Structure 1
Amino acid sequence: MATNVRQLIKSFTEYVFPVNRRELERLESQRRKTEIVVGFFVIKLLVRHQTLKFHMRIRMEKNHDSLFRTK
């Protein structure tokens, strides 16, 4: 579905604004590279977020245990 919409937009854009085919391919290549970089950045942020949540949970459990430990 997304590919069909992308192809339709591409065809319409080429019809309205004639662009050099080489320039269009360069722009699409640049867009793909940008999507890959953004994807890696998002994955990196998600991993850091999950790691932080994990460490905070461990810290909370340790604090909870130490609060209720009988001496």
Structure 2
Amino acid sequence: MFAVAVTLAVLVASMALIYLATQKLSQASEELRDSQFVPAVQVAEELRHASDELSSKVDERIKG
């Protein structure tokens, strides 16, 4: 009976650790998405805008 109780205690403890690890990974994933991917989108938009500006300047020099 003692072995069954110990086994159940270990099982409950491991499930709790898995739950906590999952929660921490979920939180870290949200923080990573907020901190890296949003600025990456901003950088891509800024690069696209700068590329458009350079293209228009090159077109002006070619025509003028």
| TM-score (structure 1 length as normaliser) | 0.58
CA RMSD, Structure 1 to Structure 2 (Å): 2.0
Which structure: greater helix fraction? 2
Q: Does 1:36 align with 2:34?
A: no
Aligned-residue sequence identity (percent) comes to 6
Larger Rg: 2
Unaligned runs of 5+ in 1: 1-16
Aligned match of 1:45 = 40
Letter in 2 for 1:43: V
Unaligned runs of 5+ in 2: 1-10
Superposed structure 1 runs of 4+ greater than 3 Å apart = none
Post-superposition CA distance 1:12-65 (Å, at most 9, x none): xxxxx8512xx2234303321222113321112101100100110000000111
Q: Does 1:25 align with 2:47?
A: no
Matched residues in 2 for 1:62 and 1:30: separation? 47
